[in-house]
Amino acid sequence: MQSLLLAVDRLSTWMGQLFAWTIVLLTFGISAEVFSRYVLNEPHDWALNGQIMLYGALFMMAGAYTLAKNNHVRGDVLYGFFRPRTQAAVDLVLYLLFFLPGIVALTWAGWTYAMESWAIREKTFSATPLPLYPFKFVIPLAGALLLLQGAVEIVRCVLCLRDGRWPSRGEDVEEVDVDKLKAMVHVKDEDIAELDRYVQAKER
């Protein structure tokens, strides 16, 4: 079971990392358009539409990745003090009542939306139109990945309720944990205080 959960984590991570490259495209595209507009005096009417589509794709595809890393914003004023089983019970209720209905609706409506766009070969409203329908398929794709990752998180809740501890998850980029960093390099608070005193003495 754990290998299956981690496999879904890896899929969400891979897709998130893949679409993260749109940041490079956005940076290059915006920089090129600024140069073209203000230096060459040749703005492109399609540039803003392209940037919006790339940003939308990046935003949508980051959902499953962020859920896999357990990094979505959460009001944890009280949650952080709960025992793992209590946290799992709260998460499970919220997943079943709010997450699943919302993401199923997003995926269903997104698929309909994308198919309608495909049927008419929808394009942007500009003098030089861009094809819009390929980007509409990002909506159901992102919804499907969120559903898959959400199912994994629900299983994790059930396992935590059973075992009393959270199952492990795939790792990628994490915020720096100062205490872990200190333990890794074998540094104590006393060592840091001694270094501070040494630096202050040298400055005098």
| pLDDT recorded at residue 180 | 65
pLDDT attached to residue 173: 52
Task: Specify the residue for token string 């609706």.
Answer: 105
Low-confidence ranges of the chain (pLDDT < 70): 170-182, 184-185, 203-204
pTM of the model: 0.77
pLDDT of residue 5: 87
Domain ranges of the chain: 2-169, 174-204
pLDDT digits 0-9 by tens, 146-202: 999 999 999 999 999 999 998 887 665 555 555 666 676 677 777 777 777 777 777
Residue 198 has a pLDDT of: 74
